[in-house]
Structure 1
């Protein structure tokens, strides 16, 4: 992984995160807001673990193949603060394509807004700080 490609991934992630942030700031109580926010969360989460993986490869840590392994290695490296919450986020992300229960969708929406948003926001900041030190 070269530095230019890593910065491309970081910028893609930051754009997706901004779109997610815009979605969680909408206060309208409507199913379409929940659905749109959850879809943006799915996309942002996918980019987050791929960005972590790319960063780890850039630093010489390779042979990571899955989101779970990437999260665990990122926690060990210090890229993310709370590995357990990231794993919980991954589990919720894996549920989202199969959400047919409105109550479950609202529960995941609330987690996105009140818990996962913060974790996702910290990732870009941490990677940028790490890149400035390398």
Structure 2
């Protein structure tokens, strides 16, 4: 197993647990904003973990979109479109400054994105346990 994959996995594991907890307890603006930041971190770690895992398979990707396409092809994720939705939401969060839109995205984080991130976590954890990296 490559050391970089393990490092990204460990960081991602902590990030997904923190994100899940944050979505469960966020109620006020400060905690919702913190949850949004946790999502951004989780998203970045997920795609970088995918990138490293895929590189270990000999598949080079240079963007999240490429990573998600290849992750779907290689059975790391189940719903490619959901991950493309994460790209859109992450980009909106970085470039949008409206309170209303950030709250709409928070609801998608809570209702959709956490579930997809958790599915990926379980799949990659199993692959690592099976020494497929």
User: Is the pair's TM-score, using the shorter chain for normalization, greater than 0.5?
Assistant: yes
| 1:110 corresponds to 2:107 | yes
TM-score by length of 1: 0.91
Runs of 4+ in 1 over 3 A off after TM superposition: none
| 1:94 corresponds to 2:87 | no
Q: Give the equivalent residue in structure 2 for 1:83.
A: 80
TM-score by length of 2: 0.92
Runs of 5+ in structure 2 lacking a partner? none
Task: Report the CA distance between 1:27 and its aligned residue.
Answer: 4.4
CA distance in 2, matches of 1:126, 1:59: 16
CA distance in 1, matches of 2:103, 2:14: 24
Q: Give the equivalent residue in structure 2 for 1:70.
A: 67
The size of the alignment, in residue pairs, is 131
CA distance in 2, matches of 1:72, 1:104: 27
Query: Over aligned residue pairs, what C-alpha RMSD do you find?
Result: 1.3
Runs of 5+ in structure 1 lacking a partner? none
Secondary structure class of the residue paired with 2:25: coil
Q: State whether residues 26 and 35 of structure 2, in contact with CA within 8 Å, keep that contact through their aligned partners in structure 1.
A: no
